[in-house]
Structure formats: structure tokens, C-alpha cells
Amino acid sequence: MRPPRTRPELDGVPETALWTLYMRAWEARRPDRLLDDPKAVELVDALDYPFQERFGPDKWDSTVGEAIRTRVFDDEVRRFLRDHPDGTVVVLAEGLETQFWRVDNGRARWVSVDLAEVVGLRRRLLPESTRQRLIACSALDERWMDEVDRTRGVLITAKGLLQYFRPTEVHRLVATCAERFPGAAMVFEAPARWLSALMARGRTRTPAGVPVPPAYWGMDPKEARRLRAAHPGIVELVDLPLPAGRGRIYGRRLPWMARTPVVRNWKPVWIMRLRFGDGSGTDPARNPSG
């Protein structure tokens, strides 16, 4: 007999973790999938939740967007683990991401940070293994930083999180990471400033018409320069390209935007990598991007 399905009692920003999970699972079920993620499919099937009613069908190729953004993060984690096979990956706002199962090398240490209600649900659905650690704590609370082993390399990621913070909070978080994790890197995602302005006004909806929580922070070249200057320990800020996806938006329009000067600054989503100097003097030249 099938075990009873779990009802996630989430709302507000924590509920958006179900949306991104649903998009990855939707994409992973397709024969022409851009992301392999059987664990996400398993999770969606284990939940008692009206996914269709809340998030609707795949209008606007949103699952393609989620899949290719996820692939950029996966590639960054794999790259880090090639250089630091026993390193620590800290995933801020991990939600119900199943990235560990996509990229694990059998040696990495994994620290997942999210709000208590999400960590409680994750613990029930995806119990920790010996190399995984779940911390119920806001990403803005420095307590999680005390729990991270810095001896074998650290990569911090933040996908789908920073837009919910105020600009001063984002700058403070990045500056504190630079201070506390010299030599580490941080990969994050940000909506464009024009998109976060629409989200701040409550103008965005899921394809099912359900309002999306407001966003307060977004990226453009000016903001990239501000973020780069948030701490003297930041030695690099790189704009990571999205791979081409499928369909009109992700297969054609966004790849065209990405290669077109000026227009590229209007892309809807940015994924960037920050590097924090280790004080050894071997850091690359200070070279703001954006």
C-alpha cells in the first residue's frame, strides 16, 4: 500500500519552495527534459498539495527557466567539488531542492539553511544523511555561519532567496560572508530590478493566477557595482551565462538578449558568482562585472 501523502502547511515565501520543486519535477517528467531529477518527481508524488491549482500548467515555459537556472547552480557546485572534493556546500534557502542527489560525489559535506517550517518539512521528507546537516535559521542570522566547517573549502549558494530581502540586508549578508568565509565563493540568483519592482507592487502571479510574494531587491549593472563594493574582501563578481533552453523565450529570445550589448542588461534573471579573497595576495585583479 502507498504510504499516506504529507500535507505541507506552508504559506508566503516558504510556499514558493513548492513552486520551484513542482517546476523541476514537471520538467524532469518530460521525454525531452533539460533536467534529470527523479527525486523531485518522487517528492511531488509524496505531497498532498494542490500543485495545479496554485501554480497552474506550464505557461510561459516557466519549467524551462527553472531547469536551466538549476543547471547553472549544479554546474557551479560540480566545479567546486572537482577542486574541493571534501568541501562544504552551504545552501541558503534550500527549500525542497534535491540538488544533493543530482551532484553528490560521495564525499561532500552539505549544509542546508532555511526557515523552521521548511526545515521541519524537509526533515520529514528528506532525512539527513551523515554528510548532510539541516539548520533551521534565517539566512540573515549569523548563527548558521558558526556551524560551517571552513577547513576544506566552502561554496555558498542562494537560489530564489535574495529578492525577498531589502537591499541593505543583501549587502550585509554578502559582506558578512566575505568576512567570515575568506577564500570561499557565493553563487546567487537575482531577478532584474525591473522585475523585482513589478513583484514589489504585487503585479506578478503564478500561471494559475495566485499572487507571488513581493520582492524587494533586484539586479542591474549599477546594483552589481554596489554589491561588488559591499566588502573589501570581495575580489570578483562574475555574471554566469544561462544555457539555451527550449521554446520561444528560453530557446530564442533570452539567448539573443544574452549576446546583444546593452539589451543584455535587461535580462529578467541574473545568476552571479562572488569570490572572497583569502588574503594570500593571489586574488585576481579587482574587476567589477556587469
Residues 159-178 that bind ligand SAM (CB under 6 A): 159-161, 164
Q: How many residues bind ligand SAM (CB under 6 A)?
A: 22
Residues 79-98 that bind ligand SAM (CB under 6 A): 92-95, 97
Of 225, 236, 138, 139, nearest to 184 by C-alpha is: 236
According to DSSP, the residues that pair with 110 across neighbouring strands are: 89, 132
Q: Please tell me whether residue 115 binds ligand SAM under the rule CB under 6 A.
A: yes
Among residues 61, 76, 114, 236, the one that binds ligand SAM under rule CB under 6 A:
114
Among residues 8, 17, 154, 185, the one that binds ligand SAM under rule CB under 6 A:
17
Q: Are 79 and 108 in contact (CB under 8 A)?
A: no
User: Can you tell me the distance from the alpha carbon of 74 to that of 23, in angstroms, rounded to the nearest whole number?
Assistant: 16
Q: Are 154 and 275 in contact (CB under 8 A)?
A: no
Q: Are 93 and 113 in contact (CB under 8 A)?
A: yes
Q: Please tell me whether residue 68 binds ligand SAM under the rule CB under 6 A.
A: no
Q: Are 264 and 192 in contact (CB under 8 A)?
A: no
Q: Are 242 and 268 in contact (CB under 8 A)?
A: no
> Minimal distance in Å, beta carbon 1 to ligand SAM?
30
Q: List, edge to edge, every strand of the sheet that includes 109-114.
A: 132-136, 109-114, 88-92, 154-158, 185-191, 269-276, 234-239
User: Among 10-18, 52-60, 193-201, 269-277, which window interacts with ligand SAM (CB under 6 A)?
Assistant: 10-18
Q: Are 158 and 99 in contact (CB under 8 A)?
A: no
Q: Are 180 and 155 in contact (CB under 8 A)?
A: no
> Minimal distance in Å, beta carbon 140 to ligand SAM?
5
> Closer CB to ligand SAM, residue 108 or residue 118?
118
> Minimal distance in Å, beta carbon 161 to ligand SAM?
5
> Closer CB to ligand SAM, residue 20 or residue 265?
20
> Closer CB to ligand SAM, residue 22 or residue 235?
22
> Minimal distance in Å, beta carbon 164 to ligand SAM?
5
* H helix runs in the chain, sequence order: 12-28, 38-46, 51-55, 62-83, 99-103, 116-125, 143-146, 167-180, 193-200, 221-228, 247, 254-258
User: Can you tell me the distance from the alpha carbon of 282 to that of 83, in angstroms, rounded to the nearest whole number?
Assistant: 17
User: Among 157-165, 174-182, 243-251, 258-266, which window interacts with ligand SAM (CB under 6 A)?
Assistant: 157-165
Q: Please tell me whether residue 139 binds ligand SAM under the rule CB under 6 A.
A: yes
Among residues 53, 105, 129, 140, the one that binds ligand SAM under rule CB under 6 A:
140
> Minimal distance in Å, beta carbon 79 to ligand SAM?
19
Q: Footprint of ligand SAM on this chain (CB under 6 A)? A: 13-14, 16-17, 20-21, 92-95, 97, 113-115, 118, 138-140, 159-161, 164
